[in-house]
Amino acid sequence: MKPHITVLIDEAVEALAIKSSGVIIDATLGSSGHARNIVSKLEKDGLFIGIDADQQAILEGQKTFSEALCHVELRVGNFRDINSILEQLHIEKADAILADLGWRMEQFSGNGRGFSFQVDEPLIMTFGDPSTYAFVAKDILNEWKETDIKNVLKGYGEEQFSGRIARHIVERREKTPFETTFDLVSVIEEAVPSFYKRGKINASTKTFQALRIAVNDEFDALENFLIKSIAHLKAGGRLAVITFHSTEDRIVKHLFRNYSHDHIGTVVNKKPIIASREEVARNPRARSAKLRVFEKI
Ligand SMILES: C[S@@+](CC[C@H](N)C(=O)[O-])C[C@H]1O[C@@H](n2cnc3c(N)ncnc32)[C@H](O)[C@@H]1O
């Protein structure tokens, strides 16, 4: 599998307007691509805080930053819990906060939780410990009402065949409950028209994305994170967020706009910053990336 390629690295780090003695938080440490760049700008009295829901990212980060010049604190956790993470570190305010949303390619296959439609695994899709979640992916498929399933697929996946897929899901579970990813893939293939199966993206992509967002409550986590992060910024501090999904971008755009109307801060760029043609040629994932930046007054 190809390693994760960091998107908008120069643009995002520049947007943070880093001072060498600042407190900088990367709420989605991942492969430390942005973080390495940030840490290189911090001196001995600077503090870098890295957060990730994925323990593996934190373990890798500990190796990466073992000899950093500045102070480095890395924590496993959901960014929606940024308040308690900062409280534990006795930090009240930060100079800059970055979030690069989504997940790394490494997380999608072979971890046994059914994120990929290409590997037959149990339909779980939780990023944290499944026992701490209200429901996992197969619970949605086996227990939720047809209209609720349709709404998840349409609202979170923008799946144009949400109605047909939801109907086929309900018909199938009456015979046999869903257990693995391939159970779902075969139902999607039955439900959608053949032109869709020959399309640019796999017919299962949007359904899998929608279930993952629902299980991990990703939109609510994002909104929570944005509100709490802005509260933790110093005057003149910056929050930079990279999204890959139109609904996520809308959440960021509206919240930044509302906060600027309320004179809490200003939107730094009226239009989102997007990747250059060269970057997209190098890394097709960068195509849908949008960077928005907010500065607190
Ligand atoms: C796109 S990657 C970040 C890549 C990183 N910026 C880099 O350059 O290597 C997104 C990371 O955010 C983490 N993540 C996603 N949602 C999260 C959440 N709600 N709380 C904490 N971490 C989250 C994922 O585990 C993943 O490692």
What average pLDDT score do residues 194-206 get?
A: 95
Contacts of 44 (CB under 8 A, 6+ apart): 69, 70
Ligand 1 mean position to 153 CA, how many Å? 23
Ligand 1 mean position to 125 CA, how many Å? 15
* Per-residue pLDDT, 3: 81
Does residue 248's CB lie within 6 angstroms of at least one atom of ligand 1? Answer: no
pLDDT for residue 200 is more than 90: no
Question: Tell me: the pLDDT tens digits for 158-185?
Answer: 999 999 999 999 999 999 999 999 999 9
Q: Determine which residue's CA is closest to atom 8 belonging to ligand 1.
A: 33
Does residue 104's CB lie within 6 angstroms of at least one atom of ligand 1? Answer: yes
C-beta atoms surrounding 90 within 10 Å: 6
The angle subtended at Cα 103 by Cα 164 and Cα 186, nearest 5°, is 30
Q: What share of the chain is helix, strand, coil (3-state, %, to 5)?
A: 45, 15, 35
> Ligand 1: which of 24, 29, 34, 229 to mutate, judged by most atoms within 8 Å of the beta carbon?
29
Count Cβ atoms within 10 A of the Cβ of residue 198 and give its class: 0-12 exposed, 13-18 middle, 19 or more buried. Answer: exposed
The span from the CA of 127 to the CA of 129, in Å, is: 7
Ligand 1 mean position to 186 CA, how many Å? 30
Q: Which domains does the chain possess? A: 9-106+218-296 (3.40.50.150), 128-215 (1.10.150.170)
Question: Tell me: the pLDDT tens digits for 216-270?
Answer: 999 999 999 999 999 999 999 999 999 999 999 999 999 999 999 999 999 999 9
Please identify which residue in the block is written with the tokens 């909104």. Answer: 223
Does residue 102's CB lie within 6 angstroms of at least one atom of ligand 1? Answer: yes
Does residue 221's CB lie within 6 angstroms of at least one atom of ligand 1? Answer: yes
Pairing verdict, β 94-100 and 23-26: parallel
List 47's β-bridge partners, or say none. 23, 71
C-beta atoms surrounding 269 within 10 Å: 12
Does residue 103's CB lie within 6 angstroms of at least one atom of ligand 1? Answer: yes
Q: Determine which residue's CA is closest to atom 24 belonging to ligand 1.
A: 103
pLDDT-derived band at 110, boundaries 50, 70, 90: low
Does residue 31's CB lie within 6 angstroms of at least one atom of ligand 1? Answer: yes
Q: Determine which residue's CA is closest to atom 20 belonging to ligand 1.
A: 78
CA distances from 213 to 17, 19, 158, 204 (A): 31, 35, 12, 14
Cα-Cα-Cα-Cα torsion 83, 89, 95, 101, nearest 10 degrees, comes to -50
The span from the CA of 24 to the CA of 21, in Å, is: 9
The span from the CA of 94 to the CA of 232, in Å, is: 6
* Per-residue pLDDT, 108: 66
Ligand 1 mean position to 172 CA, how many Å? 34
The reported pTM is 0.92
Using N-to-C axis directions, what is the helix angle for 162-175 and 181-191, rounded to 10°? 130
What average pLDDT score do residues 264-280 get?
A: 97
Local structure of 236: helix, strand or coil: strand
Ligand 1 mean position to 100 CA, how many Å? 6
Q: Which atom of ligand 1 is nearest to the CA of 9?
A: 8
Q: Which atom of ligand 1 is nearest to the CA of 222?
A: 19
Count Cβ atoms within 10 A of the Cβ of residue 52 and give its class: 0-12 exposed, 13-18 middle, 19 or more buried. Answer: buried
Q: Which atom of ligand 1 is nearest to the CA of 79?
A: 20
Q: Which atom of ligand 1 is nearest to the CA of 98?
A: 6
